[in-house]
Amino acid sequence: MDPPTGLPLGLYDYDLLVIGGGSGGLAAAKEAAGLRKKVLILDLMAPSPRGTIRELGGSRFNMDSVRKFLQQASVLGKAIQDSQKYGWRFKEEVSHGWSELVQAIQEQVKSSSLELKRELDSSGIFYLHARGEIVGSHTVQVTDMNERKSYITAETLVISTGDKPQYLGIPGDKEYCITSEDLLSQRNPPGRTLVVGGSAEGSEWAGFLFGLGMSVTVMLQPDLLPGFDRKMAEKIENHMIVGGVDILHHCLLSKVEQIEDVLSGDSVTTPQQVSKGKLQVTIIYKDGETKQEYFDTVLLAVGRKPCTSDIGLDCVGVQCNQDTGRILVNERDQTSVDYIYAIGSVQHGRLSTTGLSVHAGKLLARRLYGEDSILCDYTNVPTVVLTPVEYAACGLSEEKANRTFGENSVEVYHSYYWPIEWTLPSRNKNSCYVKVICHVPDHERVVGLHISGPNAGDVLQGFVTAMKCGLTKQQLDATVGIHPGFAQVLTLLNQTQRMTDALMLRGNC
């Protein structure tokens, strides 16, 4: 069957066809269906190299749920330790069951995916578990799970295929390493784990596993939390090191091998033991030195690449960035082909979060089929990193604010704080921290807000609205704080970065 071409407006099979099951595309589909448009979603993602099946909802939507579950498991472990200071006693030794956690999370993710499919059906949205490839103007080739092909036309296309973890391209990476999407497919606990990459994803997974009692080493490439505020990242890194996570700087992973026998200890002071199925990793340091280390699991968190290479973008001339493979879009989320749009992490040069994708998808559908003309604001996008001490941010980092406005036009207010619930168990006083970055000539308007501490993401949410409304430092100071509670620290900031630097300089003289 040859694909149809040149169909006049009004004779298409669908008003809107979404290629991919990402959260932004789903949001656009549901909004369009609510506006009485005929909508189809095509979603068939290949399994990961280790065979992990990807569920409907997009990689980030599902992973967000997993991240939160794992953070909660880790937080509960710490709470159990703290609880003795609050008078709790246990008759039996407390231990963690990896298989129980994995089973519960997997069941919840599948349940959420089924519920999402029911929601699509009740909204009148057509859904096919099939792969879509653009083969002509307004025309998509549909390939189902049995490799049967058909052709469908649509007036408007939305690309929402999301992204997937990258590999290093070194010997043994796909054979023996796993990514975050594979970790919960492991029957046994990861054991001693090497996390390669200090991205937000790598930092989170290192924290989760360490919180569950694993021995964790993080190999930075090159820094922890690249792209985030450097001083905040340094404080997160210090908290992880103090907590017991090993950090490797200035080195690269060059090879991963699986070996049958590993001898540990020595025959003189420690009995030698044999470990089966260990992974031997070869590490090259900055000075050229090469070392071999042994781990049970190697987890790669070295970035993500968009799923855009096999959906026919070249066929109709959709332009992508040559380096990233991500799609170039304008302020309307429109590609270089006027009837094709892109939403979420497939976009080039924009921050991607689940919340942002959903918001952008809704606005896109309203512009296409409603009476709205509101564009998605891709500035002041809040984000949260579920590291051992949670980190939430909105707006500019200190470095970017200085580059944008000049150092003399930027004032940074900051403070450490000690959550009251941390005082009885005597947790680290210098782990929780806030900073507010202000543009001085604009009435000290808040252009960046950063929080590290318990529930930082939830605390930040209300301040994001305030920043959208032009929040100033004077308005923060005039806000009544809630006591007891640590969010009030943001209303009491009177120490600036310049003052702190001056005091440190004076102390060193």
Q: Which two tokens stand for residue 449?
A: 């807000």
Query: Which residues are registered as beta bridge partners of 218?
Result: 195, 247
User: Does residue 239 carry a catalytic annotation?
Assistant: no
Residue 88's SS3 state is: coil
At a CB cut-off of 8 Å and minimum separation 6, what does 506 contact?
A: none
Residue 350's SS3 state is: coil
- Strand ranges (E), 220-356: 246-248, 251-266, 270-285, 290-295, 297-300, 304-306, 340-342
DSSP, res 301: -
Q: Which two tokens stand for residue 267?
A: 């025959």
In angstroms, the CA 97 to CA 148 distance is 43
Q: Around 266, how many Cα atoms within 13 Å sit in the side-chain half-sphere? A: 2
Element (H, E) at 32: helix 23-34
Sign of CA dihedral 65, 208, 286, 171: negative
Characterize the bridge pairing of strands 251-266 and 139-143.
Answer: unpaired
3-state secondary structure 303-315: CEEECCCCCCHHH
At a CB cut-off of 8 Å and minimum separation 6, what does 507 contact?
A: none
Burial of 305 (0-12, 13-18, 19+ CB in 10 A): middle
Query: Which residues are registered as beta bridge partners of 132?
Result: 142
Query: Which residues are registered as beta bridge partners of 5?
Result: none
Burial of 96 (0-12, 13-18, 19+ CB in 10 A): middle
At a CB cut-off of 8 Å and minimum separation 6, what does 115 contact?
A: none
Q: Exactly one of 249, 414, 450, 483 is catalytic; which is it?
A: 483
| Cis before 222? omega within 30 | yes
Query: Which residues are registered as beta bridge partners of 451?
Result: 392, 434
Burial of 497 (0-12, 13-18, 19+ CB in 10 A): middle
| Contact between 397 and 426 (Cβ < 8 Å) | no
In angstroms, the CA 443 to CA 470 distance is 10
Of the candidates 455, 443, 439, 467, the one whose C-alpha atom is nearest the C-alpha of residue 381 is 467
At a CB cut-off of 8 Å and minimum separation 6, what does 504 contact?
A: none
Of the candidates 155, 200, 212, 202, the one whose C-alpha atom is nearest the C-alpha of residue 177 is 202
Q: Which two tokens stand for residue 331?
A: 């302020």
What are the residue numbers of the active site?
A: 483
